[in-house]
Amino acid sequence: MGEPNTAAQPSQEFEKVLANSSTEVASFDTHEKTPLQKLQHFLHSSPAAVPLIVLVLSLIGFGAILGGKFFSAFSMTLILQQVAIVGIVGAAQTLVVLTAGIDLSVGAIMVLSSVVMGQFAFRYGLPPTLSVLCGFGIGALCGYINGTLVARMKLPPFIVTLGMWQIVLASNFLYSANETIRSQDIAANAPILQFFGQSIRFGNAVFTYGVIVMVLLVCVLWYVLNRTAWGRHVYAVGDDPDAAELAGVDVKRMLVIVYTLSGLICALAGWALIGRIGSVSPTAGQFANIESITAVVIGGISLFGGRGSILGMLFGALIVGVFSLGLRLMGTDPQWTYLLIGLLIIIAVAVDQWIRKVAA
């Protein structure tokens, strides 16, 4: 006598529901992506690609129009010299923007730091090296205050840094009495302040130490942001602070560190600014905050945080430099430069919104 076939009949009530259900294995949608979708995914995974393409096309375009006058070693390195300060301040701005913040005070902190370096050396007679360190201290302090107000008091970064911009700008003029320390006096008594204005030559190519430190800074920050846990935490805070907090990231501490580091980098830019213009001027670099945001936006770094590459910021700064020099060599009205850069900013934000749909 055979065993009853119990496997063919459901033995429990809930198993009856599954008797006629599908037995196919779950599968993912594998339809072929369109070329436009592939491009969208590529740009999402390579945020520096768009500004790099624009940079190459702008170089080719101006090179075709101007020929050897534009494509010369001197002109190419001149572009680097012109964007060195913006590149350094842009690195500070990049760190803040990656955390979904914005820093409108970077330019003012840069100038105040440079003024402190000069005034401490000439008004108080401190050793120039110590004066430079004091300038870095002021930059870090301003950044720390910004970070504390944003992280601990939950104030909007835009409002905090807008207020800090006004406070630092006023403090700068009040403290310096709007006096400029002349280049000749610095060269005679505190030459270290002009260190980043020194240069090395390779034929007709001229590389100032300010250009070199900008490139080194961007390379170091690229490595830190892409190859270290700290860098991944920066992106995580900008992408979703609540999720980052649940993953064990101390978001408040992270924000304070980022803003403080931004202030330190601004102080470095202030030191480089002295080398660039030769003197200590409280009116120099007034538009550095706007120029740094321009480089960040054109560089493909999302203002919503969590996405972008610091290399893109450098490419964005170089794009502005290429347009400025190219249009100047063509003899056009300088206003065309601002018009085209304004268009690039709007287009860059629109492209960023389009790319972000991949992650939506």
pLDDT tens per residue, range 14-34: 556 556 666 665 555 556 777
Residue 294 · residue 106 · CB < 8 Å:
no
Phi, psi torsion values for 101, nearest 5 degrees: -115, -170
Q: What is the pLDDT of residue 24?
A: 62
Nearest to 263 by CA among 160, 118, 124, 128: 160
CATH number attached to the domain at 68-359: 1.10.3470
Query: Does position 112 have pLDDT exceeding 90, yes or no?
Result: yes
What are 274's two structure tokens? 């002295």
pLDDT in the model for residue 49: 85
Percent of the residues in the chain that have a pLDDT greater than 70, as a whole number = 90
For the record, the structure tokens of 15 come out as 């198993």
Q: Which of 9-18, 80-89, 101-110, 161-170 has the lowest mean pLDDT?
A: 9-18
- Please, what's the b/e burial string for 1-27 (b: 16 or more CB within 10 A of its CB; e: otherwise)? eeeeeeeeeeeeeeeeeeeeeeeeeee
- Contact 103/93 with Cβ under 8 angstroms? yes
Q: Which of 105, 94, 238, 234 is nearest to 160 (CA)?
A: 105
- Out of 4-8, 47-51, 59-63, 167-171, least confident range: 4-8
Q: Assign 200 to helix, strand or coil.
A: strand
- pLDDT tens digit sequence for 32-41: 777 777 777 7
Average the pLDDT over 208-228 and give the result: 96
Give me the residue spans of the domains in the chain: 68-359
Is residue 275 pLDDT above 60, yes or no? Answer: yes
Which residues touch 359 (CB under 8 Å, ≥6 apart)?
A: 44, 307
Between vectors from CA 155 to CA 255 and to CA 162, what angle results, nearest 5°?
Answer: 95
Task: Give the per-residue pLDDT at 29.
Answer: 54
Cα–Cα–Cα angle for 222, 290, 177, rounded to 5 degrees: 110
How does pLDDT run across 292-324, given as a tens digit for each residue?
999 999 998 988 888 899 999 999 999 999 999
Q: Which of 251, 219, 217 is nearest to 234 (CA)?
A: 251
pLDDT digits (tens, 9 = 90+) for 245-262: 999 999 999 999 999 999
Using the Cα atoms of residue 147, residue 152, residue 156 and residue 159 in order, give the sign of their dihedral: negative
Instruction: Kindly state the tokens that stand for 196.
Output: 């980043």
What average pLDDT score do residues 169-193 get? Answer: 93
| Torsion angle of the four alpha carbons 318, 324, 330, 331, in this order, in degrees rounded to the nearest 10 | -170
Task: State pTM to two decimals.
Answer: 0.87
